[in-house]
Amino acid sequence: MRKKSLICKIKDVLPRGKGYSCLMVAVCALFFASCTNDPFDGEAFSSGVRNETLLSPNSEDITVTASPDGTQTKITWPVVQGASGYLCSVYDITNPEAPVVIGEMNNKLVDGCSIVVPRADDSNYMFSIKALGNTALNNKDAETATEVAFSSFVPAFAAIPSGTDLYEYFQNNPLPEGNTEELPIDLEAGGEYTVSGILDFGGNKVTLRCTNKFNKPTVVYGDAGTIRTSAPLAMKNLKVNCSASADAAIGLSKNPVEGLKGATGSGDYYNIMGTLYISNCEFDGVNAQFIYDNNIKYCVETVLIDNTVVRLTTTQESGVSGNAIIYFKNGFANTLNIKNSTFYQAGASNSKYFVQYSNSGRSTRAGYQKNYVIYSNSTFYNVAKTGQWSNYSGFSGQACSVFEMTNSIFVECAKEIARRFIGGNFSKSPTYVFANNTYLQDVATDAYDNEENYDQSATAIKSNPGFADPANGDFTVNPSSEQAAKRTGDPRWLPAVVEE
């Protein structure tokens, strides 16, 4: 009855006249042909594949695509005829010794030909898929799964073998002039490298990295060793030993590209529009500044220090005792963001400041609407002990300024950290965010900063985190401490959470 009524409806809308009969015959033929796969007739669609042991999809036919914002991965594959579904797994294998399941995709039954899973930057993944049989068609499961490895690392521009002096390498292999693309430079996992001179990447956007986060190569600076840039720079998954050098660990070029001046359309700063990004690194023996603008009027859009440990050994000879660890003598960073990181001082000398910018520096003078200083989940020990924490009076009291300090621990550091963090005085104009910070100024006397006039969150933790062995760089907090309970400080020093 259903087919007959539909034919009548088709007949009613077809034009009358010449060719009517032929057109009607053609339409009906197409209609009945389509009805052979009509689910309403009680016959299930069949691919014709029966009594077979199936094969999983070929790796060449599997497509892996990142979403436009880079937060997800879509994996697609062709239909395996005669299958009832697919058994799929996705693992993060960045640490091959400890694969991590992604998106709950662990031997999960998928009734379709695609999945979407979370994606993180700089990670290696493995996708596994196995075609499942169909009992109604007497088809058996595929005997093996297909595995496809994929990565979220940007493809390398060059790979440099272990044992190389990076300064000499780039003297002999200069980077292309006028390049505007990111240039990832891969170092070998567990490799050994040196920097014997001033390695200046100039206007090239370089990412110096290792794709193995768990077996970092070591880069050793010589007497004149340092790395400089006048473009966005990333350093990822590296150990950097600066102990032989009296220069900054990371500097800005003394001869910036002229095209950078006023590049935002406002002011006369040399604008580095992008990020100076330090991720998952270990810096040892930093005798001078950690970051220094070399007295050039730079504005770096963003300085981001993430999951990094910096051991400072500042000396009188380096001159850092009169200035700062992050020192913009003639410029500033429009956004400074330090998270999940540790800075500690191991030398006999000390710095006057942790952060110092030129007093004239602020966003509205360099083409930006807001400027930011952000610390989160970080640990600081014995830094600027006899000095002041910050000096950037250009930010102080300005409506364009945003100050955020959360879940961070300061022990044996400068006095009045909260006050100096916000630029020296409290006013209603800037934006302030404080939460769960520890300001333990002197362990021996159990003395804490009087932060209430500046950190007005009423959340400051006034108890000793009980570092395990700070003299030797172990800042593991006491498991019974309030800091452990509230998960504050650099996460690497927190005790594991025991699930009940």
pLDDT digits (tens, 9 = 90+) for 119-171: 998 999 999 999 999 999 999 999 999 999 999 999 999 999 999 999 999 99
pLDDT at 47: 67
pLDDT band (50, 70, 90) for residue 500: low
Contacts of 254 (CB under 8 A, 6+ apart): 228, 294, 296
pLDDT of 14 above 80: no
Question: Residue 189: pLDDT above 80?
Answer: yes
Q: What is the mean pLDDT of residues 398-402?
A: 97
- How many residues make up the chain in this entry? 500
Q: In this predicted structure, what is the pLDDT of residue 70?
A: 92
Quickly tell me which residue has 């990076």 as its tokens: 166
Q: So what's the pLDDT on residue 33? A: 38
Measured from the Cβ of residue 1, the count of other Cβ atoms closer than 10 Å reads: 5
DSSP SS3 for 216 = coil
Decide if pLDDT at 98 tops 80: yes
pLDDT at 316: 66
Sign of the torsion formed by the C-alpha atoms of 149, 56, 75 and 96:
negative
- The pTM of this model reads 0.84
Helices (H), 210-302: none
Q: Phi/psi at 279 (nearest 5 deg)?
A: -130, 130
Strands (E) in 93-225, as ranges, are 100-101, 108-110, 114-118, 124-132, 146-151, 158-160, 182-187, 192-195, 198-200, 205-209, 218-221
Place of tokens 């000879």: 317
Instruction: Provide the 8-state DSSP code for 140.
Output: B
CA distance 5 to 28: 12
CA 371 – CA 379 distance, rounded (Å):
23
The single residue listed with the structure tokens 């930011």 is 372
Mean pLDDT of 187-191: 97
pLDDT at 7: 37
Calculate mean pLDDT across residues 278-295: 96
Q: What does the pLDDT read at residue 27?
A: 38
**CA-to-CA dists, residue 258 to 263, 274, 295, 329, 391, angstroms:** 10, 17, 16, 19, 28
Report pLDDT for 320.
Answer: 78
Partners of 116 in beta bridges? 74
179-to-175, 233, 255, 278 alpha-carbon distances in Å:
8, 14, 17, 22
- Residue 97: its pLDDT value, please? 87
| Helix, strand, coil % in the chain, rounded to nearest 5 | 15, 35, 50
